[in-house]
Amino acid sequence: MKKDTIALIKRAQAFAKPYCVSNGKKFRLKKIDPGDTAGLTSEAKPRAKEALQMGISLLAELQDMLYAQDRWGLLLIFQAMDAAGKDGAIKHVMSGVNPQGCEVNSFKAPSTNELDHDYLWRTHLRIPERGRIGIFNRSYYEDVLVVRVHPELLEKQKLPSRLMTKRIWEERFEDIQSFERYLSRNGVMVRKFFLHVSEKEQKQRFLDRLNDPEKHWKFSAADARERGFWKDYMNAYEDMIQHTATEDAPWYVVPADNKWFTRVVVAAAIIDAMVSMDLSYPEVGKEKLAELAEAKKILLAQK
Ligand code: ATP
Ligand code: MG
């Protein structure tokens, strides 16, 4: 590996680390400032954008190896309140990767068919295959977030009544932890991102959407109503992170009031994850080398 690349990897690792929660027990959401930029001022923005570009190129190289090696899968889960910048982060950070090796799935309110299954079912079908990156724009975590904040959604899940106890959220955390451990034991690396936007910044972004005709499509009145449940959501997020942040499947709690900063942290965390896979191109054996030499001879002899 080139010296520059090694330096970039080291910077990425150091950059992502403060936002990584791999043991949730002592996690407190109120200790995380959505406006944090790791001491960088807006003057650092152009340099951050440059660093992001370098990170994106490196990600493309790593993805190429992931694909060629065909052993690991990488699952990236994005959760956030509306307008926190999930879509933009996914779009920018993945802009350099080969679309053939990457799939984005957005999980919305479940369909009637989906409600006839357990809540992990629809997501399990979308777990990335070996050699691929799978991105979940929302995920089974909605089943301990929006469903917890709005208990009438739980009613719709058609569970037998004796299973709907007060322990249901604890049980779901347990099952999610086991599911993610199962995935990681099968070569699917899981990394989870909570883009943490402040209530104030969300309001501003909603207003921007309302004032810009090109952004009207992104807004629905329900989004504004949902803000009324802010506290409930934050409690649900905190409890979720406390119970599901593990070494195997850590949460990155990413300050999201400054989009340029959010994107650098996300890119850095993905680089860190992929570097930890020790990726390399598969080595070709003697026989294959002889076959390649033969093919070259044939090609050169042709007109
Ligand atoms: P985003 O808000 O992420 O940009 P969107 O606005 O395009 O996406 P929506 O139509 O708002 O998409 O669909 C996402 C909605 O689906 C969210 O409000 C989310 O809470 C809800 N949702 C996702 N999973 C579930 C679930 N399991 N149960 C109920 N609602 C869910
Ligand atoms: Mg929405």
Ligand 1 atom with the smallest distance to the CA of 150 is 29
| pLDDT at res. 1 | 81
What is the separation, in whole angstroms, between the first and last Cα of the chain?
38
Our answer on whether the CB atom of 61 is closer than 6 Å to any ligand 1 atom is no
Tokens of 198: 């402040």
- Sign (positive/negative) of CA torsion 184, 64, 104, 124? negative
- Find, among 197, 191, 195, 196, the residue nearest to 251 by Cα: 191
Our answer on whether the CB atom of 143 is closer than 6 Å to any ligand 1 atom is yes
| pLDDT at res. 2 | 87
Our answer on whether the CB atom of 142 is closer than 6 Å to any ligand 1 atom is yes
Q: What angle do CA 156, 157, 160 make, to 5 degrees?
A: 110
Read off the DSSP letter of residue 279.
-
Residue-wise pLDDT for 26-67, tens only, equals 999 999 999 999 998 888 899 899 999 999 999 999 999 999
Q: What is the Å distance from ligand 1's center to 84 Cα?
A: 13
Instruction: Ligand 1 pocket test: pick from 124, 146, 156 the residue with the most ligand atoms within 8 Å of its Cβ.
Output: 146
Tokens of 185: 């034991």
Question: Which ligand has its closest atom nearest to the C-alpha of 88?
Answer: 1
Q: What is the pTM of this model?
A: 0.96
Read off the DSSP letter of residue 258.
S
- Atom 7 in ligand 1: residue holding the nearest Cα: 218
Q: Determine the Cα–Cα distance for residues 259 and 106; give it in Å rounded to an integer.
A: 20
Coil vs helix vs strand at 252: strand
Our answer on whether the CB atom of 107 is closer than 6 Å to any ligand 1 atom is yes
Q: What is the Å distance from ligand 1's center to 116 Cα?
A: 18
- Atom 31 in ligand 1: residue holding the nearest Cα: 109
DSSP states of 116-159 as a string? TS-TTHHHHTTPPPTT-EEEEES-GGGGGTHHHHSHHHHHTT--
Q: What is the Å distance from ligand 2's center to 271 Cα?
A: 28
| pLDDT at res. 232 | 98
| pLDDT at res. 44 | 87
**Which residue range forms the structural domain that includes residue 189?**
3-301
- Find, among 277, 281, 280, 282, the residue nearest to 74 by Cα: 277
Number of domains present in the structure of the chain: 1
Contact 72, 188 (CB under 8 A): yes
Can you list the residues of the chain whose pLDDT is less than 50? none
| pLDDT at res. 42 | 84
Read off the DSSP letter of residue 30.
G
Q: What is the CATH number of the domain that holds 160?
A: 3.40.50.300
Q: What is the Å distance from ligand 2's center to 108 Cα?
A: 9
Q: What is the Å distance from ligand 2's center to 14 Cα?
A: 33
Amino acid at 208: D
Q: What is the Å distance from ligand 1's center to 137 Cα?
A: 9
Q: Determine the Cα–Cα distance for residues 107 and 204; give it in Å rounded to an integer.
A: 25
